A and B are shown apart, each in its own frame.
Chain A
């Protein structure tokens, strides 16, 4: 058997070092680089998401304000239901009765959805001018919310003490359930 000479040992050492470089050190270095890149990526994301909690707190405050506004709004609207026509008619009739006004004509139109859910209504009333004014104030500021689009008051004769008032208005309805997921 041939004797191992010193230069053989040196060659084997060089080969061992090259194998170590190729299969251990270089892959490890690559792994380190990949990890460093991933860490830099995650740190970047982390800093971007740094203010999430702050934003969540701010948003919570804003949300509380707008929910309060929404609930306040809902108190002024008629809840949407299949009996809305009857509810609206009952409302205007009860108000007319309250102010001793005679209803000459009343009609509730079809439900409109745009821009807001509402029921159009046309009503003609007859009564004393002061009562007409009180009725108008009550209807305009009361609940459910009635938005008048056209008003016409006529005094039928010089000697008469009453006036006729025609109102074209819409009664605002609450939005559909699916539209308001608080």
Chain B
């Protein structure tokens, strides 16, 4: 009596185990390599970030110090810039006032100047001052008075000393 003896079944029972084992082994090796690689990469990143954070903290600290220094210097700068406005005013007046003018009193507070004196013509003094671009709002503070052969005047004006410095440069 003939019957079909299935060789495939015998092959499947005895032949798939090595492949399964091989597959499992390769899977485990893949998983281990992947896991180790991932863990190493993560640790490397972590160290790198920690190092960069440390550097960044140093940079921030340095930036803070620089900003403090900038603030300190900038507090002094305005006072240093308006350096010679009082002597500039005197120089300016000695050059600009018409001949024969004699100053009896000059005062400068911030940018507001007041001068008192006598001149052959007080109007000429005011006109001369008014011509200068360094002076604004020049006017007589008190009425002009005749005094011997001259006129006594009190003039106030705003003196832009910064422009004197620029003009000098």
Residues of A in contact with B (beta carbons under 8 Å apart): 28, 31-32, 35-36, 38-39, 42-43, 45-46, 49, 52-53, 55-56, 59-60, 62-63, 66-67, 69-70, 73, 76-77, 115-116, 132-133, 136-137, 140-141, 145, 147-155, 158, 172, 175, 179-182
Does the CB pair B90–A180 fall under 8 Å?
A: no
Q: Does B96 contact A (CB under 8 A)?
A: no
Assuming A31-B35, A52-B59, is B107 touching A73 (CB within 8 A)?
A: no
Q: How far is the CB of A67 from chain B (nearest CB, A)?
A: 7
Q: Does B22 contact A (CB under 8 A)?
A: no
In the bound assembly, the distance between CA atoms of A70 and B86 in angstroms comes to 26
Does the CB pair B69–A180 fall under 8 Å?
A: yes
Q: Does B73 contact A (CB under 8 A)?
A: yes
Closest chain A residue, CB of each to CB of B77? A73
Does the CB pair B38–A56 fall under 8 Å?
A: no
Assuming A35-B39, A49-B52, A145-B80, is B45 touching A43 (CB within 8 A)?
A: yes
The 8 Å CB contact of B104, one of A46, A141, A154, is A154
Does the CB pair A67–B31 fall under 8 Å?
A: no
Contacting residues, chain A, for B72 (C-beta < 8 A): 70, 175, 179-180
Does the CB pair A49–B84 fall under 8 Å?
A: no
Does the CB pair A66–B70 fall under 8 Å?
A: yes
Does the CB pair B65–A182 fall under 8 Å?
A: yes
Q: How far is the CB of B161 from chain A (nearest CB, A)?
A: 10
Does the CB pair B86–A53 fall under 8 Å?
A: no
Does the CB pair A137–B84 fall under 8 Å?
A: yes
Does the CB pair A28–B31 fall under 8 Å?
A: yes
Instruction: Name 24 interchain pairs, CB-CB below 8 A, sorted by A.
Output: A38-B42, A39-B38, A42-B46, A45-B49, A45-B53, A52-B55, A52-B56, A55-B59, A56-B62, A59-B59, A66-B73, A69-B73, A70-B72, A70-B73, A136-B86, A136-B87, A137-B84, A140-B83, A140-B85, A141-B83, A147-B82, A150-B109, A179-B68, A180-B72
Q: How far is the CB of A154 from chain B (nearest CB, A)?
A: 5
Does the CB pair A116–B91 fall under 8 Å?
A: no
Does the CB pair A149–B73 fall under 8 Å?
A: no
Contacting residues, chain B, for A180 (C-beta < 8 A): 68-69, 72
Contacting residues, chain A, for B135 (C-beta < 8 A): none
Contacting residues, chain B, for A154 (C-beta < 8 A): 104-105
The 8 Å CB contact of A153, one of B42, B45, B76, B106, is B106
Does the CB pair A148–B86 fall under 8 Å?
A: yes
Assuming A115-B75, A180-B72, is B84 touching A59 (CB within 8 A)?
A: no
Within 8 A of A (CB), among B77-103: 79-80, 82-87, 90-91, 94, 102-103
Does the CB pair A153–B105 fall under 8 Å?
A: yes
Contacting residues, chain B, for A28 (C-beta < 8 A): 31, 35
Contacting residues, chain B, for A56 (C-beta < 8 A): 55, 58-59, 62
In the bound assembly, the distance between CA atoms of A104 and B90 in angstroms comes to 21
Does the CB pair B103–A153 fall under 8 Å?
A: yes
Assuming A39-B38, A62-B66, A136-B86, is B107 touching A155 (CB within 8 A)?
A: no
Does the CB pair A32–B87 fall under 8 Å?
A: no
The 8 Å CB contact of A116, one of B35, B42, B79, B84, is B79
